[in-house]
């Protein structure tokens, strides 16, 4: 399976992979919630401003590849929802899935950066575990990650995903600064509230309530 996803497709798949773990109560995601996740200003590099149409196109393409599933409304729901099937399609374990997700969302990173940023997705006890997950991704029949050449003055080698084919590098100035843990938790809470409010509005509309 050739890995030639677009930047938007990678952002959509990565967002679904992340929210499955970090906000399970609102997963699968509605289109509105998914667009908001794709356009987050924290935990994303580069920061994007995607339109609903772009995300819908990416979802259709990902579905054709077997990376996304559409969940049709039931029990009075009115909105179609979306869930990823990346781990199944690529036969990834929990550690590999977490590392690939963070690489997809935040661009090239060192193993040390990945260990800290994967914390909410998978708890790595040691840096060696991150390295093994990276090597497992690189050793796939169709490699999913690769080491990047060392930058001038940089001690640790960075790794990048290969979901778009060639490594997608991001200049340091393009990536958001890593927020403190409290900021991450606050962002998650704000997203949960927004998703719950959207779901409540849909339910009230379905019941004909003002």
pLDDT digit string (tens) for the chain, length 210 residues: 558 999 999 999 999 999 999 999 999 999 999 999 999 999 999 999 999 999 999 999 999 999 999 998 876 667 899 999 999 999 999 999 999 999 999 999 999 999 999 999 999 999 999 999 999 999 999 999 999 998 777 788 999 999 998 885 554 434 443 344 444 556 566 666 666 666 666 666 556 666
The pTM for the full model equals 0.79
Report d(CA 138, CA 161) in Å as an integer: 9
Could you give the residue ranges of the DSSP H alpha helices within the chain? Answer: 7-22, 31-38, 52-65, 86-90, 94-106, 111-117, 127-138, 181-206
* CATH number of the domain located at residue range(s) 7-168 in this protein: 1.10.10.10
């Amino acid at each position: 399976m050739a890995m030639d996803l677009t930047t938007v497709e990678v952002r959509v798949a990565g967002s679904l992979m992340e929210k499955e773990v970090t906000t399970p109560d609102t997963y699968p995601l509605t289109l509105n919630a998914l667009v908001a996740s794709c356009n987050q200003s924290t935990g994303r590099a580069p920061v994007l401003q995607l339109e609903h149409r772009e995300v819908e196109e990416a979802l259709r393409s990902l579905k054709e590849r077997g990376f996304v599933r559409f969940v049709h409304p039931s029990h009075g729901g009115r909105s179609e929802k979306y869930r990823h099937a990346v781990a199944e399609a690529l036969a990834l374990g929990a550690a590999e899935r977490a590392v690939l997700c963070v690489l997809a969302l935040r661009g090239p990173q060192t193993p040390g950066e990945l260990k800290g940023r994967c914390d909410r997705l998978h708890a790595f006890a040691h840096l060696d575990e991150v390295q093994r997950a990276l090597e497992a991704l690189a050793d796939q029949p169709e490699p999913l990650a690769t080491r990047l050449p060392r930058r001038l003055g940089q001690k640790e080698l960075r790794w990048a995903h290969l979901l778009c084919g060639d490594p997608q590098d991001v200049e340091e100035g393009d990536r958001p600064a890593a927020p403190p843990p409290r900021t991450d938790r606050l962002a998650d809470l704000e997203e949960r509230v927004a998703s719950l409010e959207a779901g409540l509005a849909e339910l009230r509309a379905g019941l004909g309530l003002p």
